[in-house]
């Protein structure tokens, strides 16, 4: 048995960009800002591709929900080694209120449709910082979940995955039965770079388009964003001349 793996890929503002809050407090400025594949999803994709290289997986399917630009990250995923991609098209306006509950229902439908044995997503997206989609997808599918994974031992024959997880005090090991949902933590692997020949090849790989309606998923917002504002600014920059002075400042008396 060889696994079919579905990987969730979110297009998010690049991690190095200093974001700006819109002057009407409705959100952050996204137009003309550099976007990239969410770093945790990059790790998820890398893990799926490595499983394929080890002949444990037969097919890796990249999925992204969003406006047309979501195809950019799907092309990246294909260049990294995904076999095919599915773009679940959501108009820009609706995408603003697309929430993990919607994405998890879409991923669950696709996992069933594509007969996936494993769904791998990043542990969180660096834009909304929710850390929910993987867990919610597992719940919708009634699959077990292996979250914050730092090490995976996949045994398709036994239909089992042993997972080392990052928890507050250290590490934890669990075993989950396949089919399962895995969410990737930072230390699961180091993602590769897409090479130019692979970027060229990726242009020829299949990219299917669907809508939430095709999958029977209602994307009515469950939450309304009331306001987005800047956090209070810290007044830093105070310098001291020596360790002596640092220790003498009253804040240091504990």
Partner 1 sequence: MFRLNNLIRTGTNLTRFKHTLVVVEHDNQKLSQVTLNTITAATKIPKNETVTCAVAGTGCGKVAEEVSRLAGVNKVLVVDDANLTGFLPEAVAPVIVDLQKKNNFTHIAFGSSALGKNVMPRVAALLDAQPVSDIIGIPDENTFVRTIYAGNAIQTVRVKDPVKIFTVRGTAFEAVKPNSAATPAEVAPAGVNATKSEKATFVNQQIAKSDRPSLTAAKVVVSGGRGLQNGENFKILYDLADTMNGAVGASRAAVDAGYVPNDLQIGQTGKIVAPELYIAVGVSGAIQHLAGMKDSKTIAAINKDPDAPIFQVADLGLVGDLFKEVPEMTKLLKK
- Of 58, 72, 94, 144, the one binding partner 1 (CB under 8 A) is 144
176 binds partner 1 (CB under 8 A): yes
96 binds partner 1 (CB under 8 A): no
Cβ neighbours around 181 below 10 Å, total: 30
- Of 113, 115, 155, 177, the one binding partner 1 (CB under 8 A) is 177
Of the candidate spans 43-51, 86-94, 197-205, 230-238, the one that interacts with partner 1 by CB under 8 A turns out to be 230-238
230 binds partner 1 (CB under 8 A): yes
Least distance between partner 1 and beta carbon 6 (Å): 17
Cα(119)–Cα(111) distance, integer angstroms: 7
32 or 169: CB nearest partner 1:
169
12 or 202: CB nearest partner 1:
12
138 binds partner 1 (CB under 8 A): yes
Which residue pairs from 139-145 have beta carbons closer than 8 angstroms and sit at least 24 positions apart in sequence?
139/104, 140/104, 140/105, 140/108, 141/108, 141/111, 141/112, 141/179, 141/181, 143/119, 143/179, 143/180, 143/181, 144/176, 144/177, 144/180, 144/181, 145/176, 145/180, 145/181, 145/182, 145/183
246 binds partner 1 (CB under 8 A): yes
């Amino acid at each position: 048995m060889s696994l079919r793996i579905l990987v969730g890929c979110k297009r998010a503002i690049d991690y190095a960009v200093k974001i700006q809050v819109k002057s009407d407090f409705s959100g952050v400025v996204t137009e003309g800002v550099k976007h990239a594949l969410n770093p945790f999803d990059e790790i998820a994709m890398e893990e799926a591709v490595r499983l394929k290289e080890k002949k444990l997986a037969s097919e890796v399917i990249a999925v992204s929900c969003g406006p047309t630009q979501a195809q950019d990250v799907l092309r990246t995923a294909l260049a990294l080694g995904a076999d095919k991609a599915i773009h679940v098209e959501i108009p820009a306006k609706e995408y603003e209120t697309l929430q993990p509950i919607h994405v998890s229902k879409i991923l669950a439908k696709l996992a069933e449709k594509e007969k996936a044995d494993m769904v791998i997503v990043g542990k969180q997206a660096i834009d909304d910082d929710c850390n929910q989609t993987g867990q919610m997808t597992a719940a919708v599918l009634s699959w077990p979940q292996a979250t914050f994974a730092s090490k995976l031992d996949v045994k398709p024959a036994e239909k089992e995955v042993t997972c080392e997880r990052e928890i507050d005090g250290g590490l934890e090991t669990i075993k989950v039965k396949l089919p399962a949902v895995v969410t990737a933590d930072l230390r699961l692997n180091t993602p590769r770079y897409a090479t130019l020949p692979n970027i060229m090849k990726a242009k020829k790989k299949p990219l299917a388009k669907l809508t939430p309606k095709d999958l029977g998923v209602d994307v009515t917002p469950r939450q309304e964003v009331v306001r987005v504002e800047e956090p209070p600014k810290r007044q830093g920059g105070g310098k001291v001349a020596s360790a002596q002075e640092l220790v003498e400042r009253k804040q240091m008396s504990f």
